[in-house]
Structure 1
Amino acid sequence: MSFNTALSGLNAAQAELNVTANNISNVSTTGFKESRTEFADIFSTTSFGSSGTNIGNGVLLANVAQQFNQGNLEFTANTLDLAVSGEGFFILSPGENNDNAIFTRNGEFGVDNNGFVVSNAGARLQVFPVNADGTVTATSLSSTIPLQLPQTAGVPTVTSLVDIGVNLPASAGNLDPLAFDPLQPSTFNASTSLTVFDSLGESHVVTAYYVKVADNQWATYYNTTDSAGATLPIDITGGAVGAGGQLYHVTDFDNSGGYLSNTPDPIQTEAIDFLNGSDPNQIIGFNYANNGTTQFSSPFTVNVLNQNGFPIGRLTGVEISDTGVVRANFSNGQTTALGKIALARFQNSQGLAQIGNNSWEDTIDSGSPLAGEALTSSFGQIRSGALEVSNVDLTEQLVNLIAAQRNFQANAKSIETNNTITQAIINIR
């Protein structure tokens, strides 16, 4: 019996050595959680119970428990390196047609050839779908989708409205609006230009020319260029007939230099054909009201000059907030919310089943995964450009290694002593 007792001690010491060695080998593994050996004694009983003189029968390995305490954060220069400061796990989909979610604390993510954000094992990072402002539309585990980075910002946006705010110099001399010529600076008092976009995403420069026609009254002409670079006059619907039959609008100011009105109102162009295959019926509106348009005795100044069109964009970068909202930035100045990183937590994290590659699956012991957003409940905060390093304390593990070695030696000595006693009994004559 004593041989079996000592043998169980050897097996227990060997198990502790194995667990400690595994912890030490993963000291540099991102998101790794150390394990701890838990032992229980073996005590023989009968149907009549145990007596006060019963001796235990050794030890058994009761459990190898993972320790999910927080690891330190190590900061990097990669936006797609993610870390969770809290109890949450990243949710991954192992494959395109695999609905069985797996969970990880390893935030070393990259992009595959299809633009999906994946772990170093190829599993796709899951996010909650969001509205344009980044608010989540659904937070259930079944509603999560793979995070995919777009290659373009989609179709171009046609310019349909321009906001302009200018100060027109009250001291400027009056000019004849019928003598306007964009090639003769002496026929207008001031001008400003901006870039607009057609239905194909091609850019065009539109120039506004301001002509003072009377005290507190200005005429405005608009020109652009076609695909060949030739000057293309732009007519204002319902405007006054000006030089060469071009239609312009009139802006009136009060005696204090404040903006009064435009005629016509609203200001809209006739259909513009840029002669490049784009929509020949493009119409652009110009808004001067509430944009700081004035007529003061100071030089011509542009205060506001914005338009709502965009060309096709190229992905230039990705931003991930502390709440997990992923936004794509494009070369055309647009920003698109792609999703919000989904997190999961469990009633009993130690009940999760390890499946390798720093990943776990839920089990009956762990309970069903509870999906949620970062910075809610105890899911934690998401840190972009950071990784959670292994929570293994190397010094502690080396001490455990020495202790396990001593336990092994002590149990081996018990077997040696039992062997000596047995041999002495056999040698009795």
Structure 2
Amino acid sequence: MQALHTAATGMAAQELMVQVISNNIANLQTTGYKKQTADFQDLIYQHIARVGAQASQQGTILPIGIDIGGGVKTVGTPRAMTQGTLSQTGNDLDLAITGEGFFKILMPDGTFQYTRDGTFQMDNTGRIVNAEGNPVQPTITIPQNATGLTVNAQGQVSVQPQGSSSLTSQIIGQLTLTRFVNKAGLQPVGNNNFVDTPSSGQPQDGIATLQGFGTINQGSLENSNVDVVSEMSNLIAAQRAYEMNGKVINAADQMMQSATALFR
């Protein structure tokens, strides 16, 4: 029976939905995480009687048709690139973006990855790096024993030089942000990082607060944009839909048993 296959596609779709929800909930406390959703489409139809077809020799047409659906398929798991709330940490190298943009990270193979996770540190040479030790771009090196590290809203990094009696800070570098025409087209690669794809468009570098770029906030981190209440509601709905598709399979199986019994 076709109903068996149709219900099976429904169960597979809801299983994927639960996987997406579980990943969202698992990353509830992940800095800069962007939640995913699951998008579905109905499968091709079997047209037993096409609507609008001729119904009789007198030229009448069918006002309605008989179309049997084949089930459901997953077409994508897009990310919601909405702003997460900010948490104050007080750490000088914790940076959060409010608005458009990603931090640009130089990888060991010379390629670039992009992130909203501004949990940065300083390595043994004084460079500002991410948790894996990869330098934030443009590469900025903090002088040894410098004090009063500040990063303003535009990404200018300033320090108080060692032994300086002046109250004026010295600018040692300028962080930039990168944005994309289609943020949802970025490909996640783990470690809170994304890479650009043909769907995302070419990366566009710029200065924070200018030309539509967001603002950099020192001493803060961007929280995940996962809404736990919404995720729990979606989880319940997916579970119930899975159960109902299972009941369809049981019903179809019982009908097949009844039909088989007629031939005994």
- TM-score, normalised relative to structure 2: 0.89
- The residue aligned with 2:205 is 371
- The residue aligned with 2:93 is 80
Paired AA for residue 10 in structure 1: M
- The residue aligned with 1:230 is none
Paired AA for residue 183 in structure 2: S
CA distance in 2, matches of 1:353, 1:11: 23
Aligned-partner SS, 2:129: strand
> Is the contact made by 1:31 and 1:358 (CA closer than 8 Å) also made in structure 2?
yes
Paired AA for residue 9 in structure 2: S
Paired AA for residue 133 in structure 2: G
Whose strand proportion is higher, 1 or 2?
A: 1
CA distance in 2, matches of 1:49, 1:383: 62
- The residue aligned with 1:112 is 123
Is 1:4 the counterpart of 2:17 in the alignment?
A: no
CA distance in 2, matches of 1:64, 1:392: 15
Report the Cα offset of residue 330 of structure 1. 2.0
Is 1:56 the counterpart of 2:69 in the alignment?
A: yes
Paired AA for residue 261 in structure 2: N
Larger Rg over CA atoms: 1
Matches for 1:238-257 after TM superposition, within 5 Å: none
Matches for 1:392-411 after TM superposition, within 5 Å: 392-411=226-245
1:328 to 134, 138, 159: 159
Report the Cα offset of residue 99 of structure 1. 2.6
CA distance in 2, matches of 1:50, 1:31: 50
Report the Cα offset of residue 377 of structure 1. 2.2
> Is the contact made by 1:88 and 1:378 (CA closer than 8 Å) also made in structure 2?
no
CA distance in 2, matches of 1:7, 1:70: 37
Report the Cα offset of residue 118 of structure 1. 1.1
2:140 to 122, 134, 147: 147
- The residue aligned with 1:16 is 17
CA distance in 2, matches of 1:54, 1:103: 46
- The residue aligned with 1:301 is none
Structure 1, residues 381-412: CA drift from partner, whole Å, max 9, x if none? 00000000000001110111101100110111
CA distance in 2, matches of 1:73, 1:50: 55
Structure 1, residues 345-371: CA drift from partner, whole Å, max 9, x if none? 100000000000110000000000011
Paired AA for residue 103 in structure 1: Y
> Is the contact made by 1:92 and 1:123 (CA closer than 8 Å) also made in structure 2?
yes
CA distance in 2, matches of 1:63, 1:39: 7
> Is the contact made by 2:6 and 2:72 (CA closer than 8 Å) also made in structure 1?
yes
Aligned-partner SS, 1:407: helix
Pairs aligned (count)? 246
RMSD: 1.6
Paired AA for residue 339 in structure 1: G
2:149 to 318, 338, 343: 318
> Is the contact made by 1:94 and 1:122 (CA closer than 8 Å) also made in structure 2?
no
Aligned-partner SS, 1:125: coil
Report the Cα offset of residue 332 of structure 1. 2.0
CA distance in 2, matches of 1:408, 1:29: 29
Report the Cα offset of residue 43 of structure 1. 2.1
Structure 1, residues 225-248: CA drift from partner, whole Å, max 9, x if none? xxxxxxxxxxxxxxxxxxxxxxxx
CA distance in 1, matches of 2:8, 2:163: 72
Report the Cα offset of residue 148 of structure 1. 1.6
Report the Cα offset of residue 50 of structure 1. 5.1
> Is the contact made by 1:31 and 1:388 (CA closer than 8 Å) also made in structure 2?
yes
Aligned-partner SS, 1:54: strand
Matches for 1:194-209 after TM superposition, within 5 Å: none
- The residue aligned with 2:33 is 32
- The residue aligned with 1:338 is 172
> Is the contact made by 1:326 and 1:337 (CA closer than 8 Å) also made in structure 2?
yes
Structure 1, residues 263-317: CA drift from partner, whole Å, max 9, x if none? xxxxxxxxxxxxxxxxxxxxxxxxxxxxxxxxxxxxxxxxxxxxxxxxxxx3123
Paired AA for residue 228 in structure 2: L
Paired AA for residue 103 in structure 2: F
Aligned-partner SS, 1:16: helix
Report the Cα offset of residue 45 of structure 1. 5.6
Aligned-partner SS, 2:158: strand
> Is the contact made by 2:114 and 2:195 (CA closer than 8 Å) also made in structure 1?
yes
Aligned-partner SS, 2:252: helix
> Is the contact made by 2:13 and 2:72 (CA closer than 8 Å) also made in structure 1?
yes
Aligned-partner SS, 1:36: coil
- The residue aligned with 1:422 is 256
In structure 2, runs of 5+ residues without a counterpart are: 52-64
Structure 1, residues 311-347: CA drift from partner, whole Å, max 9, x if none? xxx3123110011100121232263312111101100
- The residue aligned with 1:358 is 192
> Is the contact made by 2:46 and 2:70 (CA closer than 8 Å) also made in structure 1?
no
In structure 1, runs of 5+ residues without a counterpart are: 128-145, 152-313
- The residue aligned with 1:195 is none
